[in-house]
Structure 1
Amino acid sequence: MTTAEETARRGELGTFLRAHRERLAPGEVGLPATARRRTPGLRREEVAALSGVGVAWYTWLEQGRVDTSRQVLDAVSRTLRLDADAHRHVLALAGFAPPRTTLDPAITGAPEHDNDNGNLRTMMDSWPDSPALLLAPDLTITAWNTAYGTLWPDPGRLPADRRNLLLLLIDDPDHQRLLPAWEPFAQDLHRHFRAHADTLPGDDGVRALTERLHATRPDLAHWWACRSVGGFAPRTIEVTSKKGQLTYTVTLLTPAGSAPGSLLVHTPAPAPI
Protein backbone atom coordinates (compact mmCIF):
# COMPACT_ATOMS: atom_id res chain seq x y z
CA MET A 1 0.00 0.00 0.00
CA THR A 2 1.37 3.45 -0.89
CA THR A 3 1.86 6.24 1.60
CA ALA A 4 -1.01 8.14 -0.01
CA GLU A 5 -3.35 5.16 0.43
CA GLU A 6 -2.33 4.73 4.06
CA THR A 7 -2.95 8.43 4.71
CA ALA A 8 -6.36 8.22 3.05
CA ARG A 9 -7.35 5.20 5.13
CA ARG A 10 -6.26 6.89 8.35
CA GLY A 11 -8.40 9.85 7.34
CA GLU A 12 -11.42 7.61 6.77
CA LEU A 13 -10.86 5.95 10.15
CA GLY A 14 -10.72 9.30 11.91
CA THR A 15 -13.88 10.52 10.17
CA PHE A 16 -15.69 7.30 11.09
CA LEU A 17 -14.71 7.50 14.77
CA ARG A 18 -15.61 11.18 15.00
CA ALA A 19 -19.05 10.59 13.46
CA HIS A 20 -19.82 7.88 16.01
CA ARG A 21 -18.46 9.96 18.89
CA GLU A 22 -20.69 12.89 17.95
CA ARG A 23 -23.86 10.81 17.90
CA LEU A 24 -23.31 9.05 21.23
CA ALA A 25 -25.13 10.75 24.12
CA PRO A 26 -23.23 11.14 27.41
CA GLY A 27 -25.95 9.23 29.25
CA GLU A 28 -25.34 6.18 27.06
CA VAL A 29 -21.88 5.74 28.62
CA GLY A 30 -22.91 6.73 32.14
CA LEU A 31 -21.82 10.38 31.98
CA PRO A 32 -24.07 13.22 33.14
CA ALA A 33 -25.47 15.51 30.47
CA THR A 34 -24.66 19.19 31.01
CA ALA A 35 -26.19 22.31 29.52
CA ARG A 36 -22.75 23.74 28.74
CA ARG A 37 -21.92 21.27 25.96
CA ARG A 38 -21.26 23.17 22.74
CA THR A 39 -20.91 20.13 20.50
CA PRO A 40 -23.11 17.05 20.03
CA GLY A 41 -22.17 13.71 21.52
CA LEU A 42 -19.10 12.96 23.59
CA ARG A 43 -16.02 15.12 23.91
CA ARG A 44 -12.67 13.75 22.72
CA GLU A 45 -11.27 13.84 26.24
CA GLU A 46 -14.21 11.74 27.45
CA VAL A 47 -13.63 9.08 24.81
CA ALA A 48 -9.91 9.10 25.60
CA ALA A 49 -10.48 8.71 29.33
CA LEU A 50 -13.05 5.94 28.96
CA SER A 51 -10.76 4.12 26.50
CA GLY A 52 -7.62 4.44 28.61
CA VAL A 53 -5.60 6.49 26.11
CA GLY A 54 -4.17 10.00 26.13
CA VAL A 55 -6.26 12.90 24.88
CA ALA A 56 -3.56 14.02 22.45
CA TRP A 57 -3.21 10.51 21.04
CA TYR A 58 -6.96 10.12 20.54
CA THR A 59 -7.11 13.57 18.92
CA TRP A 60 -4.36 12.57 16.49
CA LEU A 61 -6.23 9.32 15.79
CA GLU A 62 -9.36 11.25 14.76
CA GLN A 63 -7.21 13.60 12.68
CA GLY A 64 -5.69 10.66 10.80
CA ARG A 65 -2.17 11.50 11.97
CA VAL A 66 -1.18 8.26 13.71
CA ASP A 67 -1.40 4.49 13.47
CA THR A 68 -2.42 2.61 16.57
CA SER A 69 -2.70 -0.85 18.02
CA ARG A 70 -5.60 -3.25 17.78
CA GLN A 71 -5.99 -3.10 21.57
CA VAL A 72 -6.55 0.67 21.44
CA LEU A 73 -9.08 0.32 18.63
CA ASP A 74 -10.89 -2.43 20.55
CA ALA A 75 -11.10 -0.14 23.59
CA VAL A 76 -12.30 2.86 21.56
CA SER A 77 -14.88 0.68 19.81
CA ARG A 78 -16.25 -0.44 23.17
CA THR A 79 -16.42 3.14 24.40
CA LEU A 80 -18.29 4.25 21.28
CA ARG A 81 -20.69 1.29 21.60
CA LEU A 82 -19.88 0.10 18.07
CA ASP A 83 -21.69 -3.01 16.94
CA ALA A 84 -19.84 -5.98 15.46
CA ASP A 85 -20.02 -4.66 11.87
CA ALA A 86 -18.74 -1.21 12.81
CA HIS A 87 -15.97 -2.73 14.96
CA ARG A 88 -14.79 -4.92 12.07
CA HIS A 89 -14.88 -1.86 9.82
CA VAL A 90 -12.66 0.11 12.21
CA LEU A 91 -10.13 -2.74 12.28
CA ALA A 92 -10.20 -3.03 8.48
CA LEU A 93 -9.54 0.70 8.04
CA ALA A 94 -6.60 0.41 10.42
CA GLY A 95 -5.11 -2.48 8.47
CA PHE A 96 -6.04 -5.32 10.83
CA ALA A 97 -8.08 -7.20 8.23
CA PRO A 98 -7.20 -8.46 4.74
CA PRO A 99 -7.21 -5.49 2.32
CA ARG A 100 -10.06 -5.37 -0.15
CA THR A 101 -9.44 -5.46 -3.85
CA THR A 102 -10.19 -2.48 -6.08
CA LEU A 103 -13.83 -2.37 -7.03
CA ASP A 104 -14.37 -3.63 -10.56
CA PRO A 105 -17.78 -2.92 -12.11
CA ALA A 106 -17.23 -5.80 -14.55
CA ILE A 107 -17.12 -8.92 -12.40
CA THR A 108 -16.23 -11.05 -15.40
CA GLY A 109 -13.16 -8.98 -16.18
CA ALA A 110 -10.74 -11.13 -14.18
CA PRO A 111 -9.86 -14.29 -16.13
CA GLU A 112 -8.85 -16.21 -13.00
CA HIS A 113 -12.46 -16.07 -11.80
CA ASP A 114 -14.14 -17.11 -15.05
CA ASN A 115 -14.86 -20.65 -13.84
CA ASP A 116 -16.34 -19.36 -10.57
CA ASN A 117 -18.60 -16.94 -12.42
CA GLY A 118 -19.70 -19.63 -14.86
CA ASN A 119 -20.63 -21.93 -11.98
CA LEU A 120 -22.58 -19.16 -10.25
CA ARG A 121 -24.46 -18.30 -13.43
CA THR A 122 -25.31 -21.98 -14.01
CA MET A 123 -26.55 -22.24 -10.43
CA MET A 124 -28.70 -19.10 -10.76
CA ASP A 125 -30.21 -20.35 -14.01
CA SER A 126 -31.31 -23.54 -12.22
CA TRP A 127 -33.60 -21.52 -9.93
CA PRO A 128 -36.78 -20.94 -11.95
CA ASP A 129 -38.70 -19.50 -8.98
CA SER A 130 -35.90 -17.66 -7.16
CA PRO A 131 -34.86 -14.35 -8.72
CA ALA A 132 -31.13 -13.82 -8.33
CA LEU A 133 -28.43 -11.29 -9.22
CA LEU A 134 -24.66 -11.19 -9.28
CA LEU A 135 -23.49 -7.87 -7.85
CA ALA A 136 -20.04 -6.28 -7.99
CA PRO A 137 -18.84 -4.73 -4.68
CA ASP A 138 -20.21 -1.35 -5.83
CA LEU A 139 -23.64 -3.00 -6.39
CA THR A 140 -23.36 -2.95 -10.16
CA ILE A 141 -25.55 -5.72 -11.63
CA THR A 142 -23.29 -8.03 -13.59
CA ALA A 143 -25.54 -11.05 -14.17
CA TRP A 144 -29.13 -12.16 -13.47
CA ASN A 145 -31.37 -15.14 -14.06
CA THR A 146 -34.63 -15.39 -15.99
CA ALA A 147 -36.69 -15.33 -12.79
CA TYR A 148 -35.19 -11.95 -11.87
CA GLY A 149 -35.85 -10.43 -15.30
CA THR A 150 -39.44 -11.66 -15.08
CA LEU A 151 -40.14 -10.18 -11.63
CA TRP A 152 -38.14 -6.95 -11.89
CA PRO A 153 -37.42 -4.68 -14.87
CA ASP A 154 -35.03 -6.69 -17.06
CA PRO A 155 -31.49 -5.29 -16.51
CA GLY A 156 -30.70 -6.28 -20.12
CA ARG A 157 -33.05 -3.56 -21.34
CA LEU A 158 -31.33 -0.88 -19.28
CA PRO A 159 -28.28 1.12 -20.39
CA ALA A 160 -25.12 -0.36 -18.89
CA ASP A 161 -24.48 2.74 -16.78
CA ARG A 162 -27.91 2.34 -15.14
CA ARG A 163 -27.36 -1.25 -13.99
CA ASN A 164 -26.63 -0.49 -10.36
CA LEU A 165 -29.09 -1.89 -7.82
CA LEU A 166 -28.78 0.97 -5.34
CA LEU A 167 -29.25 3.64 -8.03
CA LEU A 168 -32.29 1.81 -9.40
CA LEU A 169 -33.92 1.52 -5.98
CA ILE A 170 -33.51 5.21 -5.17
CA ASP A 171 -34.35 6.67 -8.58
CA ASP A 172 -36.28 4.29 -10.82
CA PRO A 173 -40.12 4.62 -10.68
CA ASP A 174 -40.64 1.04 -11.91
CA HIS A 175 -38.54 -0.41 -9.08
CA GLN A 176 -40.27 1.78 -6.51
CA ARG A 177 -43.69 0.80 -7.84
CA LEU A 178 -42.83 -2.88 -7.47
CA LEU A 179 -41.31 -2.33 -4.03
CA PRO A 180 -43.21 0.49 -2.28
CA ALA A 181 -41.16 -0.10 0.90
CA TRP A 182 -37.89 0.41 -0.98
CA GLU A 183 -36.23 2.75 1.53
CA PRO A 184 -35.18 0.23 4.24
CA PHE A 185 -33.85 -2.09 1.51
CA ALA A 186 -31.85 0.72 -0.09
CA GLN A 187 -30.48 1.94 3.25
CA ASP A 188 -29.22 -1.54 4.11
CA LEU A 189 -27.54 -1.79 0.71
CA HIS A 190 -25.90 1.61 1.23
CA ARG A 191 -24.49 0.56 4.61
CA HIS A 192 -23.16 -2.59 2.94
CA PHE A 193 -21.56 -0.49 0.18
CA ARG A 194 -19.98 1.91 2.71
CA ALA A 195 -18.25 -1.01 4.43
CA HIS A 196 -16.39 -1.58 1.15
CA ALA A 197 -16.07 2.05 0.08
CA ASP A 198 -14.40 3.34 3.26
CA THR A 199 -11.55 0.87 2.84
CA LEU A 200 -10.91 2.18 -0.70
CA PRO A 201 -10.98 5.98 -0.35
CA GLY A 202 -8.94 6.59 -3.50
CA ASP A 203 -10.80 4.16 -5.75
CA ASP A 204 -12.27 5.68 -8.92
CA GLY A 205 -15.32 3.39 -8.81
CA VAL A 206 -16.11 4.35 -5.22
CA ARG A 207 -15.74 8.03 -5.98
CA ALA A 208 -17.87 7.83 -9.13
CA LEU A 209 -20.75 6.04 -7.42
CA THR A 210 -20.62 8.31 -4.37
CA GLU A 211 -20.77 11.41 -6.58
CA ARG A 212 -23.62 9.91 -8.59
CA LEU A 213 -25.64 9.15 -5.46
CA HIS A 214 -25.30 12.77 -4.35
CA ALA A 215 -26.23 14.09 -7.79
CA THR A 216 -29.14 11.70 -8.33
CA ARG A 217 -30.88 12.22 -4.99
CA PRO A 218 -29.56 15.36 -3.25
CA ASP A 219 -32.64 15.21 -1.02
CA LEU A 220 -31.14 12.05 0.54
CA ALA A 221 -27.99 13.89 1.61
CA HIS A 222 -28.55 12.66 5.19
CA TRP A 223 -28.21 9.10 3.85
CA TRP A 224 -25.01 9.76 1.94
CA ALA A 225 -23.46 11.60 4.90
CA CYS A 226 -24.25 8.77 7.32
CA ARG A 227 -21.18 6.83 8.46
CA SER A 228 -23.04 3.67 9.48
CA VAL A 229 -21.79 0.42 7.98
CA GLY A 230 -23.03 -3.13 8.22
CA GLY A 231 -23.53 -6.43 6.54
CA PHE A 232 -26.76 -6.92 4.62
CA ALA A 233 -28.98 -9.05 6.88
CA PRO A 234 -31.69 -11.23 5.27
CA ARG A 235 -34.95 -9.31 5.03
CA THR A 236 -38.51 -10.01 3.93
CA ILE A 237 -39.90 -7.86 1.12
CA GLU A 238 -43.30 -7.66 -0.56
CA VAL A 239 -43.25 -7.09 -4.31
CA THR A 240 -46.34 -5.76 -6.08
CA SER A 241 -46.17 -7.78 -9.30
CA LYS A 242 -48.60 -8.47 -12.14
CA LYS A 243 -49.49 -11.69 -10.27
CA GLY A 244 -50.36 -9.78 -7.13
CA GLN A 245 -48.48 -9.34 -3.88
CA LEU A 246 -45.49 -11.70 -3.67
CA THR A 247 -43.37 -12.20 -0.57
CA TYR A 248 -39.67 -13.06 -0.66
CA THR A 249 -36.81 -13.41 1.77
CA VAL A 250 -33.84 -11.59 0.25
CA THR A 251 -30.34 -12.77 1.18
CA LEU A 252 -26.94 -11.43 0.13
CA LEU A 253 -24.32 -14.17 -0.14
CA THR A 254 -20.58 -13.94 -0.77
CA PRO A 255 -19.55 -17.26 -2.35
CA ALA A 256 -16.11 -18.48 -1.29
CA GLY A 257 -13.50 -18.50 -4.03
CA SER A 258 -15.48 -16.36 -6.46
CA ALA A 259 -14.61 -12.99 -7.94
CA PRO A 260 -15.21 -9.98 -5.67
CA GLY A 261 -18.93 -9.51 -5.38
CA SER A 262 -22.09 -11.04 -4.00
CA LEU A 263 -25.10 -13.12 -4.94
CA LEU A 264 -28.49 -11.57 -4.13
CA VAL A 265 -31.15 -14.29 -3.87
CA HIS A 266 -34.94 -13.97 -3.52
CA THR A 267 -36.41 -17.03 -1.79
CA PRO A 268 -40.21 -17.26 -2.18
CA ALA A 269 -42.03 -17.27 1.12
CA PRO A 270 -44.10 -20.42 1.74
CA ALA A 271 -47.73 -20.14 0.75
CA PRO A 272 -50.14 -19.71 3.68
CA ILE A 273 -51.76 -22.92 4.84
Structure 2
Amino acid sequence: MSAPVVLITGALAGIGRAAAFSVAKSGSRVVVSGRSLDKGHALAEELHALGAEAEFIKADIRSEEEVRALVDGVVARFGRLEAAVNNAGTEGQPGPVTEQSAETYATTFDTNVLGTLLSMKHELRVMLAQGAGSIVNISSTYGHEGAAGASVYAASKHAVEGLTKSAALEAAGSGVRVNAVAPGPTDTGMLDRFTGSTEVKAALAAKVPLSRVGQPSEIAEAIAFLASGKASFITGQIVTADGGKTAG
Protein backbone atom coordinates (compact mmCIF):
# COMPACT_ATOMS: atom_id res chain seq x y z
CA MET A 1 0.00 0.00 0.00
CA SER A 2 1.36 3.46 -0.89
CA ALA A 3 2.24 5.96 1.82
CA PRO A 4 -0.62 8.19 3.01
CA VAL A 5 -0.92 11.69 1.57
CA VAL A 6 -1.29 14.44 4.18
CA LEU A 7 -2.12 18.09 3.47
CA ILE A 8 -1.16 20.71 6.08
CA THR A 9 -2.29 24.32 5.84
CA GLY A 10 -0.50 27.03 7.79
CA ALA A 11 2.54 24.76 7.61
CA LEU A 12 5.30 27.34 7.43
CA ALA A 13 5.74 28.06 11.15
CA GLY A 14 4.91 26.86 14.64
CA ILE A 15 2.60 23.90 15.11
CA GLY A 16 1.95 23.46 11.37
CA ARG A 17 5.66 23.22 10.62
CA ALA A 18 6.16 20.73 13.45
CA ALA A 19 3.24 18.67 12.15
CA ALA A 20 4.83 18.54 8.71
CA PHE A 21 8.00 17.01 10.15
CA SER A 22 6.04 14.63 12.37
CA VAL A 23 3.94 13.14 9.58
CA ALA A 24 6.92 13.08 7.20
CA LYS A 25 8.97 11.08 9.69
CA SER A 26 6.11 8.59 9.95
CA GLY A 27 6.49 7.88 6.23
CA SER A 28 3.62 9.96 4.88
CA ARG A 29 3.80 12.00 1.70
CA VAL A 30 3.28 15.63 2.66
CA VAL A 31 1.84 18.68 0.94
CA VAL A 32 2.58 21.84 2.88
CA SER A 33 0.72 25.06 2.19
CA GLY A 34 0.98 28.69 3.16
CA ARG A 35 1.26 32.14 1.66
CA SER A 36 5.06 32.55 1.37
CA LEU A 37 6.71 31.02 -1.68
CA ASP A 38 10.23 31.31 -0.26
CA LYS A 39 9.39 29.75 3.10
CA GLY A 40 7.23 27.09 1.47
CA HIS A 41 9.88 25.90 -0.95
CA ALA A 42 12.50 26.00 1.81
CA LEU A 43 10.33 23.80 4.03
CA ALA A 44 9.75 21.32 1.21
CA GLU A 45 13.53 21.11 0.72
CA GLU A 46 14.03 20.43 4.44
CA LEU A 47 11.49 17.62 4.25
CA HIS A 48 13.21 16.22 1.13
CA ALA A 49 16.47 16.17 3.08
CA LEU A 50 14.80 13.79 5.53
CA GLY A 51 13.91 11.50 2.64
CA ALA A 52 10.27 12.53 2.59
CA GLU A 53 8.18 12.98 -0.54
CA ALA A 54 6.95 16.54 -0.09
CA GLU A 55 5.46 19.35 -2.13
CA PHE A 56 4.61 22.99 -1.46
CA ILE A 57 1.47 24.59 -2.88
CA LYS A 58 0.87 28.27 -2.22
CA ALA A 59 -2.66 29.13 -1.06
CA ASP A 60 -4.61 31.64 0.99
CA ILE A 61 -7.28 29.66 2.81
CA ARG A 62 -9.56 32.71 2.92
CA SER A 63 -10.13 32.31 -0.83
CA GLU A 64 -12.39 29.46 -1.95
CA GLU A 65 -10.82 29.52 -5.42
CA GLU A 66 -7.36 29.03 -3.93
CA VAL A 67 -8.52 26.33 -1.51
CA ARG A 68 -10.20 24.45 -4.34
CA ALA A 69 -7.03 24.69 -6.42
CA LEU A 70 -4.94 23.56 -3.44
CA VAL A 71 -6.95 20.39 -2.89
CA ASP A 72 -7.18 19.70 -6.61
CA GLY A 73 -3.39 20.16 -6.80
CA VAL A 74 -2.86 17.54 -4.10
CA VAL A 75 -5.05 15.04 -5.94
CA ALA A 76 -3.43 15.84 -9.31
CA ARG A 77 0.01 15.18 -7.81
CA PHE A 78 -0.70 12.15 -5.64
CA GLY A 79 -4.11 10.80 -6.70
CA ARG A 80 -5.56 10.74 -3.19
CA LEU A 81 -5.85 12.65 0.07
CA GLU A 82 -5.78 10.51 3.19
CA ALA A 83 -5.50 13.24 5.81
CA ALA A 84 -5.65 17.01 6.18
CA VAL A 85 -4.49 19.24 9.02
CA ASN A 86 -6.19 22.64 9.01
CA ASN A 87 -3.70 24.66 11.00
CA ALA A 88 -3.74 28.07 9.31
CA GLY A 89 -4.87 30.67 11.82
CA THR A 90 -4.34 34.08 13.37
CA GLU A 91 -4.65 35.58 16.82
CA GLY A 92 -6.21 38.67 15.30
CA GLN A 93 -6.08 41.84 17.37
CA PRO A 94 -5.76 41.05 21.10
CA GLY A 95 -7.53 43.39 23.48
CA PRO A 96 -10.78 43.81 25.40
CA VAL A 97 -14.20 43.59 23.77
CA THR A 98 -14.54 47.39 23.92
CA GLU A 99 -11.56 47.74 21.56
CA GLN A 100 -12.81 45.30 18.91
CA SER A 101 -14.42 46.33 15.64
CA ALA A 102 -16.07 44.85 12.58
CA GLU A 103 -12.65 44.90 10.96
CA THR A 104 -10.83 43.02 13.75
CA TYR A 105 -13.68 40.50 13.85
CA ALA A 106 -13.52 39.92 10.08
CA THR A 107 -9.74 39.59 10.07
CA THR A 108 -9.88 36.85 12.71
CA PHE A 109 -12.97 35.00 11.55
CA ASP A 110 -12.06 35.05 7.85
CA THR A 111 -8.89 33.09 8.60
CA ASN A 112 -9.85 30.95 11.59
CA VAL A 113 -13.46 30.11 10.74
CA LEU A 114 -14.07 30.73 7.04
CA GLY A 115 -10.66 29.28 6.23
CA THR A 116 -11.40 26.12 8.21
CA LEU A 117 -14.86 25.82 6.65
CA LEU A 118 -13.56 26.19 3.09
CA SER A 119 -10.70 23.79 3.74
CA MET A 120 -13.03 21.12 5.13
CA LYS A 121 -15.51 21.65 2.30
CA HIS A 122 -12.96 20.80 -0.37
CA GLU A 123 -11.12 18.15 1.61
CA LEU A 124 -14.43 16.40 2.24
CA ARG A 125 -15.26 16.68 -1.46
CA VAL A 126 -12.34 14.34 -2.10
CA MET A 127 -12.54 12.18 1.02
CA LEU A 128 -16.26 11.44 0.78
CA ALA A 129 -15.75 10.20 -2.77
CA GLN A 130 -12.89 8.00 -1.55
CA GLY A 131 -14.97 6.65 1.33
CA ALA A 132 -12.13 7.34 3.75
CA GLY A 133 -10.07 10.14 5.22
CA SER A 134 -9.19 12.05 8.36
CA ILE A 135 -9.37 15.79 9.01
CA VAL A 136 -7.74 17.43 12.02
CA ASN A 137 -8.63 21.05 12.75
CA ILE A 138 -6.61 23.17 15.13
CA SER A 139 -8.55 24.85 17.92
CA SER A 140 -7.25 26.15 21.26
CA THR A 141 -8.11 25.73 24.91
CA TYR A 142 -9.68 29.16 24.39
CA GLY A 143 -12.18 27.33 22.18
CA HIS A 144 -13.88 25.94 25.27
CA GLU A 145 -13.10 28.53 27.93
CA GLY A 146 -13.19 32.31 28.17
CA ALA A 147 -10.16 34.45 27.48
CA ALA A 148 -9.91 38.00 28.80
CA GLY A 149 -8.20 40.10 26.17
CA ALA A 150 -8.71 37.53 23.44
CA SER A 151 -12.48 37.56 22.99
CA VAL A 152 -12.64 37.43 19.18
CA TYR A 153 -9.93 34.79 18.96
CA ALA A 154 -11.70 32.68 21.59
CA ALA A 155 -15.01 33.07 19.76
CA SER A 156 -13.39 31.96 16.51
CA LYS A 157 -12.05 28.81 18.15
CA HIS A 158 -15.48 28.07 19.66
CA ALA A 159 -16.70 28.19 16.06
CA VAL A 160 -13.95 25.84 14.86
CA GLU A 161 -14.99 23.29 17.48
CA GLY A 162 -18.64 23.56 16.42
CA LEU A 163 -17.68 23.09 12.77
CA THR A 164 -15.55 20.10 13.70
CA LYS A 165 -18.33 18.28 15.54
CA SER A 166 -20.94 19.07 12.90
CA ALA A 167 -18.73 17.91 10.03
CA ALA A 168 -17.85 14.74 11.96
CA LEU A 169 -21.51 13.82 12.27
CA GLU A 170 -22.16 14.57 8.61
CA ALA A 171 -19.18 12.54 7.35
CA ALA A 172 -19.18 9.58 9.74
CA GLY A 173 -21.44 7.42 7.59
CA SER A 174 -18.99 7.73 4.71
CA GLY A 175 -15.98 6.58 6.68
CA VAL A 176 -14.41 10.02 7.08
CA ARG A 177 -13.29 11.21 10.51
CA VAL A 178 -13.12 14.83 11.68
CA ASN A 179 -11.47 15.85 14.95
CA ALA A 180 -9.65 18.82 16.43
CA VAL A 181 -6.64 19.36 18.65
CA ALA A 182 -6.90 22.18 21.19
CA PRO A 183 -3.42 23.23 22.34
CA GLY A 184 -2.81 25.10 25.53
CA PRO A 185 0.03 27.64 25.78
CA THR A 186 2.59 26.52 23.20
CA ASP A 187 5.99 28.01 22.42
CA THR A 188 5.18 29.67 19.10
CA GLY A 189 5.33 33.12 17.57
CA MET A 190 1.62 33.49 18.28
CA LEU A 191 2.20 32.97 22.01
CA ASP A 192 5.02 35.52 21.94
CA ARG A 193 2.70 38.04 20.33
CA PHE A 194 -0.09 37.27 22.81
CA THR A 195 2.10 37.62 25.89
CA GLY A 196 4.30 40.47 24.67
CA SER A 197 7.17 39.80 27.09
CA THR A 198 9.17 36.97 28.60
CA GLU A 199 7.84 37.89 32.06
CA VAL A 200 4.19 37.51 31.03
CA LYS A 201 5.03 34.31 29.18
CA ALA A 202 6.74 32.90 32.29
CA ALA A 203 3.75 33.85 34.45
CA LEU A 204 1.45 32.03 32.04
CA ALA A 205 3.68 28.94 32.09
CA ALA A 206 3.60 28.95 35.91
CA LYS A 207 -0.19 28.48 35.80
CA VAL A 208 0.15 25.26 33.78
CA PRO A 209 0.17 22.20 36.07
CA LEU A 210 3.20 20.81 34.21
CA SER A 211 4.88 24.16 34.97
CA ARG A 212 5.85 24.94 31.39
CA VAL A 213 4.44 25.78 27.99
CA GLY A 214 4.14 23.07 25.39
CA GLN A 215 6.47 22.58 22.45
CA PRO A 216 5.13 22.56 18.87
CA SER A 217 6.52 19.04 18.43
CA GLU A 218 4.36 17.80 21.32
CA ILE A 219 1.20 19.19 19.75
CA ALA A 220 2.31 17.75 16.41
CA GLU A 221 2.40 14.23 17.84
CA ALA A 222 -1.24 14.53 18.94
CA ILE A 223 -2.15 15.81 15.47
CA ALA A 224 -0.28 12.97 13.75
CA PHE A 225 -2.05 10.40 15.90
CA LEU A 226 -5.53 11.72 15.10
CA ALA A 227 -4.68 11.97 11.41
CA SER A 228 -3.49 8.37 11.29
CA GLY A 229 -5.28 5.04 11.17
CA LYS A 230 -4.28 4.49 14.79
CA ALA A 231 -7.22 6.76 15.71
CA SER A 232 -9.68 4.90 13.48
CA PHE A 233 -12.53 4.89 16.04
CA ILE A 234 -12.18 8.53 17.06
CA THR A 235 -14.30 11.21 15.43
CA GLY A 236 -16.09 14.37 16.51
CA GLN A 237 -13.66 14.90 19.38
CA ILE A 238 -11.72 17.91 20.64
CA VAL A 239 -8.45 16.53 22.01
CA THR A 240 -6.91 18.95 24.49
CA ALA A 241 -3.12 19.10 24.82
CA ASP A 242 -2.45 21.71 27.48
CA GLY A 243 -0.27 20.33 30.26
CA GLY A 244 -3.29 20.04 32.54
CA LYS A 245 -4.29 23.71 32.21
CA THR A 246 -8.03 22.99 31.88
CA ALA A 247 -8.13 19.99 34.23
CA GLY A 248 -9.09 21.93 37.35
How high is the TM-score relative to the length of structure 1? 0.27
How high is the TM-score relative to the length of structure 2? 0.29
